[in-house]
Amino acid sequence: MTKEIWFDMDGTIADLYGKSDWLERLRAFDPSPYAEATPLVNMSRLARLLHRAQKLGYSVGVISWLSFESNASYDEAVEAAKREWLRRHLPSVNWNEIHITAYGVPKHSIGRGILFDDNDKIRAQWGDGAHEPTEIFKVLASL
Which pLDDT belongs to residue 125?
Answer: 97
Q: What is the DSSP string of 66-106?
A: --SS--HHHHHHHHHHHHHHHHHHSTT---SEEEEE-TT--
* Phi–psi pair at 98, nearest 5 degrees: -130, 120
CATH number at residue 117: 3.40.50.1000
- Mean pLDDT across the stretch 105-112? 97
Tally the domains of the chain.
Answer: 1
77-99: per-residue pLDDT in tens? 999 999 999 999 999 999 999 99
Contact 13, 40 (CB under 8 A): yes
Mean pLDDT of the chain: 97
Which pLDDT belongs to residue 63?
Answer: 98
Banded pLDDT at 69 (limits 50, 70, 90):
confident
pTM above 0.85, yes or no: yes
Cα 94 to Cα 50: distance, rounded to the nearest angstrom: 9
Which pLDDT belongs to residue 111?
Answer: 96
Burial class (CB within 10 angstroms; exposed 0-12, middle 13-18, buried 19+) of 6:
buried
Q: Domain limits at 92? A: 4-141
Q: Is pLDDT above 90 for 19?
A: no
